[in-house]
Amino acid sequence: MTRAIRTLAVIFWTCLAATLAAGPKDASPGRPHDSADQHVTFNRDIAPILFHSCTVCHRPGEAAPFPLLTYKDAKSHARQIAAVTQKRFMPPWLPEPGEQKFAEELRLTAEQIAVIQKWVEQGTEEGDPADLPAAPKFVLGWQLGQPDEIIKADKPFVLPASGSDMYWNFIFRTPVDRTRWLRAIEIRPGDKRVVHHANILVDRAQSARRQEELAGAGFAGMEIKIASEAFDPDSHFFFWKPGTVPQPEPDGMSLRLDKETDLVLNIHLQPSGKQEVIQPSLGLYFTDKPATLHPMLLQLEGDRQLDIPPGEKNFLVSDEFTLPLDVDLLAIYPHAHYLGKEMQAFATLPDGSVKMLIHILRWDLNWQAVYRYASPVSLPRGTSISMRYTYDNSDENPANPNDPPKRVVAGNRSSDEMAHLWLQVLPQVLPDSTIDPRSVLQESMARRIIEKNPADFEAQYNLGAVLQDRGVMEEALRHFAMAVRIRPEDAIANNALGAALLAAGRIDEAIPRFSAALQAQPDNFDAHYNLANALATQGHFPEAIDHYRAATRLHPDDANAEANLGAALAEAGNLQEAKLHLERALRINPNQELARDNLAEVNRTLNNQHP
Amino acid sequence: MWRAGHNLPAVLSGATTLAALSLATFSVVSLAQNSALALDGTPADPFQKSSGKVVVLVFVRTDCPISNRYAPAIQRVSAKYDAQASFWLVYPDKSETAEKIRQHEREYKYELPALRDPQRALVKLAQVRVTPEVAVFGPNRHLMYHGRIDDLYQDFGHARHAPTTHELEDAIQAAVAGHAPPASSPGVGCFISDLE
């Protein structure tokens, strides 16, 4: 009669940003023409480069400050274009070219950059109109067509005219009255010229709301913490950066959206010189097809290594993780704050070969993104994934938030640092199809985190939950006990430990854990329900009834709680009321067998009493 | 025509500074041909209209994100030195109409007089290359400083959280006190030479 406890996935992310920069897919236009004598012209040589790599943002209504759609546009920014492309500041694209290709790469080739320089040196000639390619065509308005639902932030955020970058979180109350499946979310971040990037976190437990001072107003913060009580690791990148064209999730990878799920939009804003009012909206696109493929996010991190002395130019942080099964790597998201410098992630395969997964020579938080691979990267079981990041905490790093530099450690504020690497992987189905490959990965990740830091509460809890799911009860119990030792007043951990003890028949030890859970959180449904079960098992029916009643008040639609309340009332001799609750349980769930059997028994007894 | 501005350290004594504050003897006849324009289209000479104060020309462009981001700082510094310095916004882009400039001033809450400089007369005088660069003139139209406002931007896309140097303010103070101005440092921004 013990209720299965839920696993707890605490997600500690920021800015999950997928790069979906748009643009036609033909590769590298604007090749230099053959004749060295010929002048470079806009129509023949420059326009193709701009149309392919720049106009997605450099057009009216988009993020860039000026359009680059015509000769006149380009000419009035010609030296600017030459300078920013030569420095590779534009188009913004951080990864070095490598063996693994990313989707929608925005990187210009050295030849393209040289052609632009030459065009400016030679006097920005327009050239023959016949050479001008057709202007790119863009969809106006919602990029995926009219959304099924549009939700707008309740209250706008007013960005001051000046100051340093800001991070704001909007909470969207979702409009679904039952579980739906999403094939896409289109993010309209508000004024595109001040929003550097935006990403959505799925908040199934509505935990972010606790951070709002005023309901609907949102809250400040660069890194936000979302608690999830379901074993349902969120694995989707919903992201906006300048030039993003939303793309539907791949077939089979729709996102479950339950009733009472919040979507939290974390946005990075840069003051523009004038006050800006930001009120984002989201377009939701539903599908009837539930998810059949379940990608997961793996995290490597080195936060505890971060203790960077002032003046240090090359502080190294590294981490490794060995894959317990075969995966397809779909996307990668490196993340640090303003001191991050060089970033590398690579995979060492079991045969010893090395695949560079991403290499960023000069990290720039302003252009962070999730990079999707052009095609999935297969990584077999036993592959070791490594991250190596360096940090520059000297005054030579202009982005250094401290002047003069000071000691920096890990933290959530933008002046703190982070060393995170997220990988979106699709685990391959295991030979034993009854085992969920995600739980195998989850277990490996939790064990790896505990190896690095035995005091990691979430990892201890998650490992306990995965082990319990697999029926490895003794070890599960040990990890729940560790979680409680780390956070003695945590309601969820106490409840989980209590439930594990109850399942092991250690009822006397279980009861104080449920009581501790309820002391921490008096409205914890699971703890009331489990405590009631423990008390009922010991024959303490009046006390059990009190807790079942509390449970049914919290979840009036829970058939099991109603059925057990009915059973306890029957045990206590209150058959009339027992009948009421058993009937209610059956109305909620006509297949609740316990309620059906007990109701039959209660009815027989009542009939015998009043023939 | 305009004489070339120079950027020698000012070694003016207090006495010459005071004497030179009177600009009445300087002719502005040469403005007619090659002049900056007030927003009403008439030729305008910021020096003549600045009644002996230090003259600060701030070069901006309505579509330059870096000069726009500086708007609150420019407004703040101009208010701080209101008594000593006369600030002018200079728009060198020929295609920016008076109406567009007025709208830009409203949007960015500028409370400074604006000039159009379609012939680049002031650009040449001030020896500026990008928006937003500034030029600070002491007595006798003496170009004391030209270049960046501060070091907020190190390069395109590489902005500090806050500037660590304040060349514009230092230059105004130097011009007022007759001290040596800071060395000229180039600004990061949008190239004026890109404009027609």
| pLDDT single digits (tens) B131-164 | 999 999 998 889 999 999 999 999 988 888 889 9
Alpha helices in A28-164 (DSSP H): 47-53, 71-75, 78-86, 110-121
Mean pLDDT, all residues of chain A = 88
Q: Is residue B9 included in any domain, yes or no?
A: no
Extract the tokens encoding A359.
Answer: 């290499």
Residues 6+ away with beta carbon under 8 Å from A53: A23, A91, A106, A108, A112
Contact list in B for residue A400 (CB cut-off 8 A) is 160-161
In a domain, A531, yes or no: yes
Are residues A417 and A303 part of one domain? yes
Task: Give a yes or no: residue A467 inside a domain.
Answer: no
A213 and A188, same structural domain? yes
**A461, part of any domain:** no
CA distances in angstroms from A79 to A122, A272, A611, listed in the order given:
12, 23, 100
Q: Tell me, yes or no, whether A72 and A120 share the same domain.
A: yes
Are A147 and A272 contained in the same domain? yes
| Same-domain status, A505 and A592 | yes
Say which CATH number the domain at B75 has.
Answer: 3.40.30.10
Mutate to test the interface with B, among A120, A162, A337, A394 (most CBs of B within 10 A): A162
Residue-wise pLDDT for A186-198, tens only, equals 998 888 888 888 8
Contact list in B for residue A75 (CB cut-off 8 A) is: 194, 196
Question: What confidence tens digit (pLDDT) does each residue in B66-105 have?
Answer: 999 999 999 999 999 999 999 999 999 988 999 999 999 9
A610 CB-near residues (< 8 Å, 6+ apart)? none
User: Tokens at residue A530, please?
Assistant: 């489990």
At residue A37 the predicted structure's pLDDT band, cuts being 50, 70 and 90, is low
Note whether residue A77 is domain-resident.
yes
Between A and B, how many CB-CB pairs are < 8 A? Answer: 81
More confident residue, A33 or A378: A378
CA distances from A153 to A184, A187, A341 (A): 18, 11, 35
What is the pLDDT at residue A232? 54
Task: Among A390, A418, A445, give the residue marking a domain's end.
Answer: A445
Assess if residue B2 is contained within a domain: no
How would you class A352 by CB atoms within 10 Å of its CB: exposed for 0-12, middle for 13-18, buried for 19 or more? exposed
Strand partners, A228: A9
Q: Do B71 and A65 touch (CB under 8 A)?
A: no
Q: Show which residues on chain B lie within 8 Å of chain A, measured between beta carbons.
A: 63-65, 68-73, 93, 95, 107-109, 154-162, 164, 190-191, 193-196
- B27 assigned to some structural domain: no
Q: Is residue A85 part of a domain?
A: yes
| Residue A49 domain boundaries | 42-131
The whole-angstrom distance between A402's CA and the closest CA on chain B is 8
Cβ within 8 Å, pair A403-B164: yes
Question: Do A552 and A492 belong to one domain?
Answer: yes
Distance from CA of A221 to the nearest CA of B (A): 17
| A162/B159 touch (CB, cutoff 8 Å), yes or no | no
The DSSP symbol for A258 reads: -
Domain tally for chain B? Answer: 1
Residues of B in contact with A192 (CB under 8 A): none
Helix (H) or strand (E) holding A25: none
Render A277-303 in DSSP notation, one character per residue.
EE--EEEEEEES-------EEEEEE-G
The pLDDT of residue B22 is: 34
Same domain (yes/no): A411, A530: no
Chain A interface, mutation test: which of B107, B194, B195, B196, most A Cβ atoms within 10 Å? Answer: B194
Do residue A267 and residue A315 come from a single domain? Answer: no
Rounded Cα distance between A267 and A189, Å, is 8
Residues A170 and A279 in one domain: yes
The whole-number average pLDDT for the span A555-573 is: 94
Say if B82 falls within a structural domain.
yes
Looking at residue A105, its pLDDT comes to 87
- Residue A120 CA to residue A79 CA, distance in Å, equals 6
Mean pLDDT across the stretch A287-315? 94
Confidence band of B34 (pLDDT split at 50, 70, 90): low
As for how many domains chain A has, the answer is 4
Please give, rounded to a whole number of angstroms, the shortest distance from the CA of B11 to a CA of chain A. Answer: 33
The two structure tokens encoding residue B190? 């949008």
Measure the CA–CA gap between A500 and A496, rounded to whole angstroms.
6
User: Which residue in A has a C-alpha nearest to residue B76's C-alpha?
Assistant: A162
Q: Is residue A122 part of a domain?
A: yes
Do residue A377 and residue A506 come from a single domain?
no
Do A150 and A195 fall within a single domain?
yes
Task: Measure Cα distances from A149 to A182, A217, A238, A278 in Å.
Answer: 11, 21, 16, 20
Average pLDDT over residues A343-354: 98
pLDDT of A17 over the 80 cut = no
**A430-451: per-residue pLDDT in tens?**
888 888 898 899 999 999 999 9
Q: Is residue B34 part of a domain?
A: no
Q: Kindly state the helix (H) or strand (E) to which residue A541 belongs, with its residue range.
A: helix A541-554
Report the pLDDT value the prediction gives residue A611, as an integer from 0 to 100: 56
Distance CA A186, CA A144 (A): 8
Element (H, E) at A147: none
Contact predicate A115/A86, CB 8 Å = no
Which of B71, B157, B161 shows the shortest C-beta gap to A366? B157
pLDDT one-digit tens code per residue, A496-545:
999 999 999 999 999 999 999 999 999 999 999 999 999 999 999 999 99
The whole-angstrom distance between B191's CA and the closest CA on chain A is: 6
Residue B30: predicted pLDDT: 41
Q: What is the mean pLDDT of residues A467-480?
A: 93
| pLDDT over threshold 60, residue A145 | yes
> Is residue B5 in some structural domain?
no
Is there a contact between A89 and B65 if contact means CB atoms under 8 Å apart?
Answer: no
Find which of B153, B154, B158, B165 to mutate to test the A interface (most A CBs within 10 Å of its CB): B158
Contact A164 B161 (CB under 8 A): yes
My answer on whether A521 and A595 are in the same domain is yes
The C-alpha of B14 sits at a distance from chain A's nearest C-alpha, in angstroms, of: 36
- Chain B contact probe: residue of A69, A72, A77 with most B CBs at under 10 A: A77
Q: Is residue A107 scored above 60 in pLDDT?
A: yes
Q: Could you tell me if residue A19 is inside a domain? A: no
How would residue A202 be classed by pLDDT, with cut points 50, 70 and 90? confident
Tokens 């003016």 label which residue?
A: B12
What's the one-letter identity of residue A44?
A: R
**Domain-embedded: residue B4:** no
Dihedral-angle region of residue A221 (phi above 0 means left; psi in -120 to 50 means alpha; beta otherwise): left
Task: Look at residue B25 and tell me if it is in a domain.
Answer: no
> Taking residues A390-414, what's their average pLDDT?
92
Domain interval for residue B122: 14-18+44-194
**Smallest CA–CA separation between A502 and chain B, in Å?**
55
Nearest CB to B191; choose among A80, A89, A165: A80
Strands A281-287, A149-152: pairing is antiparallel
Q: Is A15 part of a structural domain of the chain? A: no
